[in-house]
Amino acid sequence: MNIYPNWKNWLVVIIVALGIFFALPNLFGEDPAIQFKAASSDIELTETDVTAVNSVLNDAGITPRSIELDKGQMVIRMNSVADQLESIDVIRPRFKDNSAALAFAARSPNWMKSLGMGTVGLGLDLRGGVHFLYEVDLDSFVKTEFEKYEASARKRLRTTKIRSETIKATDTSVILEFKDIATRDAAMNALSKDDTGRTFTNLNNTSNPSFTVTLNEDQLKARQDFALTQNITTLRSRVEELGVSEPLVQRQGLNRIVVQLPGVQDPGQADAILGSTATLEFRLVDQDNDPYKAAQTGRAPLGTKLFYETDGQPILLKRQVIASGEHLSGASSGIDTESGSPAVFVDLSGIGAENMLQTTKANLGKPMAVVFISQEQEFYDENNQKLTKPIVTEKQEVINVATINGVFSSSFRISGMGTMERATNTALLLRAGALAAPLYKVEERTIGPSLGQDNIDSGMKAIIYGFIGIFIFMLLYYKKFGLYANIALIVNLVLIVALLSIIPTSLTLPGIAGIVLTVGMAVDANVLIFERIREELDVGTDVQQAIYSGYDKAFSSIADANVTTFIAAVVLFALGTGPVKGFAVTLMLGIATSMFTAIVGTRALVNFLYGKKPRLADLSI
């Protein structure tokens, strides 16, 4: 009756053993550290670099715990957070062409690391770091979409030899006018054919036959969702390039994105990379017209566009773009072996590489320019009053003009970057991709490592005090069975820690609250079981039958309570953000582990101790 089959006993033993095994790395703790790597991902650090960094730190009176090379990068372990912060202030000015970021390095043995065993990731409120809240400018995105459609419509009508009077993009539509109704209808048929993503509407109240191209509510929402999703993907790529461990990038509300970077204490550098919009365009230089005349009149000749070089000199480029940022498949920084100056090495793919190949074949000996496009945001007006929404201006700068001396397609270099820092940041932004829609920062918070440690200490105290109180109560009230419940609680906590170490999530302060809550729920399950056993004993039921009935009849009540709480946790996880998700994750994990330890775990222990004793006079409960 109260004897588990061997397979079930072994299942309990294996699960508990695996939990202990995967939770082990957390016993070793972490060191405050600095993650130091070369400016280019193609360059690996060596022992010479280790010696140089160690010498700089020793000159500043700082003794690191250790300096290790790991896959071409350097991990500088420090003895305290204070040493960590002081060290990074010493290292960054001396090694400007390298990347140094605050991090935490696990002390677990190498064999654990080789097996992929990690520690529990800590969220921003426990680790310390930077919190950004960005708002995506969806209005600008929609306006840009209509401007792109204007250019596309001109090209398609030109291809079909349909002449338009005017094509003009507004913030919410594109208006096309024609000389007669027949031409208008032909243009509408040509543009609307196979285009189900836009709405075409005739205008009858204008002097010329015309129609508009707009987006209905569903079409508009689909494009806005795409822009948000694309921005989140790009921001995640940039965070990965920054080398931040356990970051959080997620949508909040209709048009906002939360970015949390645990361990980062330099918000300026992080924001400069995350909020930047950068892409490249490759165009041929117009050699037939005078750029200075175009600059004076403010009008570029037909088929050209006026740009300015980094030194302010005007230059005319062909309107046709050979390739742009969307065709980039890779970008890295380094030193140009010919000029000895910083450069960006670019890889193109698809139609961009094909266009580059055909262009270089047909234009040998002619100059080609590289246009660097970025966006600048102005947060204050001329009276120094903060704007409710920043003014975004696009900056287009010709960073390189070179003669096409050979035929190339997918791989080449861009020199003239000025400094290695600019080359590195440009390559990073190009690798991560351009943002689909402009975004601007609406909130920034920096949490210091010491405050994060205070939160950890407070959370640990809450768990320890909660455990001590429960342990004492269970031992006094349920005697030996209280001891069994306490053992199950310890195993429950170990299993939660193991799961948090395995899955890609971060433990937050609300997450600690979720753990404390599940501890109480696990005890509640044991209380229901033990009270049911007491009731059976009080009415004179046989001891073995009382144990069996206690677990059997209490199961439905325990399952109902836990399932309903689990559903609530799933809803919190699906609809919540940030701290709410952290609470929901630990609550769901805690419910799963507490169901196992309270019902299966304690039952296995009780069966092992009492199952083979058919004649029991009483129980210590």
> Would you tell me how many other CB atoms lie within 10 Å of the CB of residue 488?
27
| Token pair of 391 as six digits | 């003014």
**pLDDT, tens digit, 9 for 90 and up, residues 211-241:** 888 888 888 888 888 888 888 887 887 777 6
Q: Under DSSP, is residue 391 helix (H, G, I), strand (E, B) or coil?
A: strand
Overall average pLDDT of the 495-511 stretch: 86
Task: Name the one residue in this structure whose structure tokens are 């250790």.
Answer: 66
Q: Which residues contact 314 (CB under 8 A, 6 or more apart)?
A: 291, 292, 294, 295, 306, 307, 308
> d(Cα 172, Cα 154) in Å, to the nearest integer?
18
> d(Cα 225, Cα 329) in Å, to the nearest integer?
24
- Is 248's pLDDT higher than 70? yes
> d(Cα 79, Cα 543) in Å, to the nearest integer?
57
Overall average pLDDT of the 419-442 stretch: 72
* Percent of all residues in the chain with a pLDDT value above 90, rounded to a whole number: 6
> d(Cα 552, Cα 584) in Å, to the nearest integer?
29
Residue length, the chain? 621
- Residue 99: name the closest of 157, 38, 167, 159 by CA: 38
164 φ/ψ angles, rounded to the nearest 5 degrees: -110, 155
Give the highest mean pLDDT range of 6-15, 114-123, 343-352.
6-15
- Residue 401: name the closest of 414, 418, 420 by CA: 414
> d(Cα 547, Cα 532) in Å, to the nearest integer?
9
| Token pair of 167 as six digits | 């094509």
> d(Cα 277, Cα 376) in Å, to the nearest integer?
9
- What is the pLDDT at residue 120? 85
- What is the pLDDT at residue 380? 59
Bridge partners, residue 68, by sequence: 75
Q: Which of 9-18, 146-155, 406-415, 429-438 has the lowest mean pLDDT?
A: 429-438
DSSP 230-275: HHHHHHHHHHHHHT-SS-EEEEETTTEEEEEEET---HHHHHHHHS
| Token pair of 389 as six digits | 């929404």
Domain ranges in the chain with CATH number 1.20.1640.10: 6-25+450-610
- What is the pLDDT at residue 589? 92
Q: What's the CATH code, domain 6-25+450-610?
A: 1.20.1640.10
> Would you tell me how many other CB atoms lie within 10 Å of the CB of residue 203?
14
- What is the pLDDT at residue 402? 79
Q: Which of 21-30, 303-312, 348-357, 474-483 has the lowest mean pLDDT?
A: 348-357
What band does 405 get if pLDDT is binned at 50, 70 and 90?
confident
- Residue 324: name the closest of 291, 350, 361, 362 by CA: 350
**pLDDT, tens digit, 9 for 90 and up, residues 41-70:** 567 888 888 899 999 999 889 989 999 887
- What is the pLDDT at residue 386? 60
> d(Cα 125, Cα 134) in Å, to the nearest integer?
19
> d(Cα 433, Cα 329) in Å, to the nearest integer?
9
| Amino acid letter, 283 | R
Mean residue pLDDT across the chain: 81
Overall average pLDDT of the 457-483 stretch: 86
Q: Which of 471-485, 534-548, 583-597 has the lowest mean pLDDT?
A: 534-548
Q: Which of 491 and 435 is assigned the larger pLDDT?
A: 491
Bridge partners, residue 446, by sequence: 130
Q: Which residues contact 532 (CB under 8 A, 6 or more apart)?
A: 549, 550, 551, 553, 554
> d(Cα 275, Cα 435) in Å, to the nearest integer?
9
> d(Cα 492, Cα 460) in Å, to the nearest integer?
16
- What is the pLDDT at residue 498? 93
Cβ atoms 484, 602 nearer than 8 A? yes
What band does 206 get if pLDDT is binned at 50, 70 and 90?
low
pTM over 0.75: no
> d(Cα 162, Cα 148) in Å, to the nearest integer?
19
Cβ atoms 463, 501 nearer than 8 A? no
Q: Which of 386-390, 420-424, 486-490 has the lowest mean pLDDT?
A: 386-390
> d(Cα 113, Cα 122) in Å, to the nearest integer?
18
> d(Cα 75, Cα 106) in Å, to the nearest integer?
11
Q: What's the CATH code, domain 138-220?
A: 3.30.70
Domain ranges in the chain with CATH number 3.30.70.260: 30-107
- Is 16's pLDDT higher than 80? yes
Angle between helices 602-610 and 6-23 (to 10 degrees): 130
Task: Name the one residue in this structure whose structure tokens are 């144990």.
Answer: 547
Q: Which residues contact 388 (CB under 8 A, 6 or more apart)?
A: none
User: How many CA atoms, within 13 angstroms, populate the side-chain half-sphere of residue 179?
Assistant: 4
Domain ranges in the chain with CATH number 3.30.1360: 277-417
Overall average pLDDT of the 351-362 stretch: 84
DSSP 131-192: EEEEEE-HHHHHHHHHHHHHHHHHHHHHHTT---SEEEE-SS-EEEE-SSHHHHHHHHHHHH
Overall fold of domain 30-107: Alpha-Beta Plaits (3.30.70)
Overall average pLDDT of the 470-499 stretch: 90
What band does 561 get if pLDDT is binned at 50, 70 and 90?
confident
Overall average pLDDT of the 134-162 stretch: 83
CATH number (3.30.1360, 3.40.50, 3.30.70, 1.10.8) of 277-417 reads 3.30.1360
Q: How far is CA 498 from the centre of its chain?
A: 23
Overall average pLDDT of the 524-530 stretch: 87
- Is 379's pLDDT higher than 60? no
